[in-house]
Amino acid sequence: MKFSIERGELLKAVAQAQSVVERRNTIPILANVLIEAEGSSVSFRATDLDIEVVNKAPAQVLSAGATTVSAVMLHEIVRKLPDGALVTLSDVPASGRLTIEAGRSSFNLATLPKEDFPVMATSEYAANFTAKAGVLRRLFDKSKFAISTEETRYYLNGVYMHVAQGEDGPVLRCVATDGHRLARIDAALPEGAAGMPGVIVPRKTVNELRKLLDNDEDDIAVSVSETKVRFATQVITLTSKVIDGTFPDYARVIPTGNTRRLEVDAAEFAKAVDRVATVSSERSRAVKLSLDEDRLVLSVNAPDAGAAEEELAVAYADERLEIGFNAKYLLEIASQVDRENAVFMFNTAGDPTLMREGNDTSAVYVVMPMRV
């Protein structure tokens, strides 16, 4: 194997490979990236056995072939090479080494046989469809903060992507929850997605996927089966196992009868919550919302440390209400709002509260109150 490649192309391809590779591996080959050169391109493949990513980059292939080297070390080397350099990689089968040359620098790295590299089995997918990168980004970006980190509730450790019945017909929906808060984000159902099984996309996959979604208008090919999901651009293919579990029936958590409506500038609200939360102890971080006609008072009382209070002008026309929330949860949902005012729908101080952006029901958040 021998090929020459522009340093920028190589860096991009290797960067994503090394981010999938786990830092600590009991199986040595999982620390490596599989490099396959053929035709006019080279592919870089990395896996942690749950996720596999393949990056293709254009290269001048002088002799086809394949080998594996440490993903982290290759990434570090390429990162440190000067911008614009032409990099030549060639394997020396006799010594079991890969040589990397650029300008007056030369490196050789230990390799492991390509035959040992665990390539993920190809699957039959139940549904294949195309979605714009911007649409997928919104679905996952606005829901992922609510993913649970409790390992015992493994079926909550991801985003539940499925087809659901929206107000105006079927939608592609992403839901995440940790039992304290929930995010439900809808998008128009892409053609061909109707028959897809609902899948729980693991947190790490959601984070890796994010790197494919930078350009709004890119077309992303999505394939879904009961056990796997695949997202692909022209150059990157990300395949991931999905979480083997049943996502809870989230619909009954979303309140439908909340009638007390608060409308508030989300950015002002978030800043005020952040300020008053300063005095609370790290653990509880409870913020009290006291609502009266067109007036919201946020307050925190931490007996040892101090107290804080801030008033905001809001739109509220219902009866007086005092309700408490975890400050972090309030901040996180308020920071999802980016176009209109945040609208909170309350019932009593003990019931889950709903939040959305203006009257848009395509992104809905639920947060459980705390006793204050």
**Residue 103 DSSP code:** T
DSSP 3-state assignment of 17? helix
Spacing of C-alpha 246 from chain mean position: 20
**Residue 135 DSSP code:** H
Of 275, 290, 340, 341, which one interacts with a copy of itself (CB under 8 A)? 275
- Rounded to whole angstroms, the Cα distance separating 196 from 194 reads 6
Q: How far is the CB of 197 from a copy of itself (least distance, A)?
A: 44
Of 51, 224, 276, 289, which one interacts with a copy of itself (CB under 8 A)? 276
Q: Say if residues 231 and 206 touch (Cβ distance below 8 Å).
A: no
What is the bridge-based pairing of β-strands 321-326 and 315-316? Answer: unpaired
Q: How far is the CB of 52 from a copy of itself (least distance, A)?
A: 24
Tell which residue, 217, 220, 212, 145, has the closest CA to residue 190.
Answer: 220
Does 311 bind a copy of itself (CB under 8 A)? Our answer is yes
Q: How far is the CB of 302 from a copy of itself (least distance, A)?
A: 9
For residue 283, the tally of other CB atoms under 10 A from its CB is 6
Backbone angles phi, psi at 238, to 5 degrees: -115, 115
Minimum CB distance to a copy of itself smaller for 276 or for 345: 276
Segment near a copy of itself (CB under 8 A); pick from 101-109, 213-221, 236-244, 323-331? 101-109
Does 272 bind a copy of itself (CB under 8 A)? Our answer is yes
Does 76 bind a copy of itself (CB under 8 A)? Our answer is yes
Q: How far is the CB of 130 from a copy of itself (least distance, A)?
A: 40
Structure tokens at 227: 């056990």
Of 48, 218, 310, 351, which one interacts with a copy of itself (CB under 8 A)? 310
Q: Say if residues 211 and 13 touch (Cβ distance below 8 Å).
A: no
Does 306 bind a copy of itself (CB under 8 A)? Our answer is yes
Does 332 bind a copy of itself (CB under 8 A)? Our answer is no
Does 24 bind a copy of itself (CB under 8 A)? Our answer is no
Element (H, E) at 60: strand 60-63
Q: What is the largest CA-CA distance in the chain?
A: 82
- Rounded to whole angstroms, the Cα distance separating 308 from 119 reads 56
Segment near a copy of itself (CB under 8 A); pick from 11-19, 100-108, 317-325, 360-368? 100-108
Does 107 bind a copy of itself (CB under 8 A)? Our answer is yes
Segment near a copy of itself (CB under 8 A); pick from 97-105, 163-171, 208-216, 320-328? 97-105
Structure tokens at 278: 């300063």
Minimum CB distance to a copy of itself smaller for 18 or for 143: 18
Of 40, 63, 106, 215, which one interacts with a copy of itself (CB under 8 A)? 106
- Sites of contact with a copy of itself (CB under 8 A): 70, 73, 76-77, 80-82, 97, 104-110, 271-272, 274-276, 278-279, 304-312
